[in-house]
Each structure stands twice: as structure tokens, then as C-alpha cells.
Amino acid sequence: MATPSPAVARWELRLRIAQLRKDSQLGDAEVMDAVGISRPYWSQVFSGTRMLTVDKLRALAAAYGCDADEQDELVQLREIATKERGWWMKHPALIRPEMQQLYGLEHGARSIRCYNSLLIPGLLQCEGYARTIIAANTMIRPFEVEQHLAVRMQRQSRLTDDDPLHLTAMVSEAALIQQTGGPDVLREQLLHLIRLAEQHPETIEYRIIPFTAAEGTALGGSTFHLLDFSSTKLPTLGWSETPTRAGVVEDPTEVSSLAYAYAQAMTQTLSAADSLSLIKEKVRE
């Protein structure tokens, strides 16, 4: 079971209520009468902007035919969603809403597959490398750089906590050569990758697309993640980034396209063992 995350709990609760509504033979008016809520309240529940009280949630679940065990599951999700407060929510002036959403989902994910073409993924960046990238972001003011760095380092705790995130990171060989921050910072970053992989071989895996890959540039400079969760009620989610926009991808067709692209790119990579060997070779060079 992955670390409880209020963001994931809220998302799962919304999806499960929506599925109950879809599977039910009851009309909305009947359910609203049974629960004792107005239509605006009803709309807010399904848009995710309002949370049912415990009593009303049980009444809704009962109206849809849920047994006591399922009602308890829904109430437990509600408790996590409302009583827990993720660390990412404590920095509203620093972290944009879409990034808060990512960090919340990331915190509760079981595994992440990420594709980064020219940069080492944020979850794997050492301090010097991360500081260089953050400082180069024109949307971040100089006095905020260290704050953003602290946030990035805190994100990485999911790689080493009691129930660590499983991470598969796919990057181009170019990311191992581009001297982001200068040669000393790059060396520090490559050594950091090696330490992480050797200390956590069961949960951290690198897959490098070598320069010799015939179709290695097929995805260009894309950056995207695929997040999977422990709950069987939750589908795979996507996350996509461009220089000006980033956000969660929920649409099943789009997520399927990202998963297909990732699988195709994987055919161009070195094995996990050979990828780690290549990183070590770059350090020696």
C-alpha cells in the first residue's frame, strides 16, 4: 500500500461515487431526495468542489446499494481526503495548483514511469543540478530559488521512505552529457544516480536511449509521466509538460496514447544493467 495521500483519496472518492451513479438504475432526483441535498450541492459533489458530510456520504452509498463494508471504505477515503494535509499544501504561494496536484498524486502513487529527453527527472536530481535548473526558470524569482529547491528535495523522500515509490526513468544519453551546471555538477549528478540505483535496486530503474538508437528521437523533447496506484479502483494517470504548460492527463484515450508512446520508446533503450553501466562510463569519462 502506497503512502496515504489526500489528493489521491479525494480523486478516488470522486471516481467511485461517479461509478456508482453510472451503474445505478436510479435517477438523480431520487438519490438527491434520499440523501437530502439540493441540485447545486449535487453538482458540486460531482465536480469535485464539495465534499459530502459523513452522514450524507453513507446515505448516498446506501441509496446506491453499497453494503456496510463499501460504505466504510468510502468514509475512510473521505477522512484521508479531509483530515490529512499534504506537505505540498503548506506552500500555496510557492507551488502552483497544477504542481500541488502532481505532488499529491505522486505522493500516493505506487509507481511512476517517466520520460525526459534532455534532463534528469526532478525526482532524481541532486541539489546542485536541481538548483541550476530552478535558477534558469524565468518564472521563479531569484530569492525563491532555495525554497523551490527545498520543495524538490522533499518530493524525493518518496524514493526512500518505508514504502518507496517504484520509479522507472527513461532519458536520452544526451542527458548524461549535457553539462547542466558545469562539469562538476554533472559529475555530482551522475554519481547521485549511481548511488540511488545501487542503494535501491528493487525500486529505481534507469533506461537510457543511446545515441545509436535508430528511433531514439521519435518523441523529441517531450516530458511526461505515467502514474499507477495501489487501489484497483484507480486507472493510470498521465502527466505532461511543455515549456509553458503542465497538467494531469485523465482522458483514457490520451493516457493510452502516452502509454503506447512510452512502450515504443522503451524498445529503443538499453537494459537496466547496461543503462547503469553507461552512467558509470560517463563518470569515468
User: What pLDDT digit, counting tens, does each position of 185-228 carry?
Assistant: 999 999 999 999 999 999 999 999 999 998 877 677 789 999 99
What are the sequence ranges of the domains in the chain? 6-83, 87-284
Class of 87-284 in CATH: alpha beta
The tens digit of pLDDT for each residue in 88-101 reads 888 888 888 888 99
Closest CA to 107 of 43, 176, 147, 154: 154
Average pLDDT, rounded, for the chain: 92
238's grid cell:
498521465
What does the alpha-carbon distance between residue 247 and residue 172 come to, in Å, rounded to a whole number? 23
Cβ distance 194 to 280 under 8 Å?
A: yes
What does the alpha-carbon distance between residue 6 and residue 78 come to, in Å, rounded to a whole number? 9
What does the alpha-carbon distance between residue 194 and residue 177 come to, in Å, rounded to a whole number? 15
pTM: 0.90
pLDDT tens over the chain, length 285 residues: 556 789 999 999 999 999 999 999 889 999 999 999 999 999 998 888 889 999 999 999 999 999 999 999 999 999 999 887 788 888 888 888 888 999 999 999 999 999 998 899 999 999 999 999 999 988 888 999 999 999 999 999 999 998 999 999 999 999 999 999 999 999 999 999 999 999 999 999 999 999 999 887 767 778 999 999 999 999 999 999 877 778 999 999 999 999 999 999 999 999 999 999 999 999 998
Cβ distance 268 to 209 under 8 Å?
A: yes
Q: Which CATH number fits domain 6-83: 3.40.50.850, 1.10.260.40, 1.10.760.10, 3.40.50.1860?
A: 1.10.260.40
Closest CA to 237 of 224, 253, 226: 226
Cβ distance 103 to 3 under 8 Å?
A: no
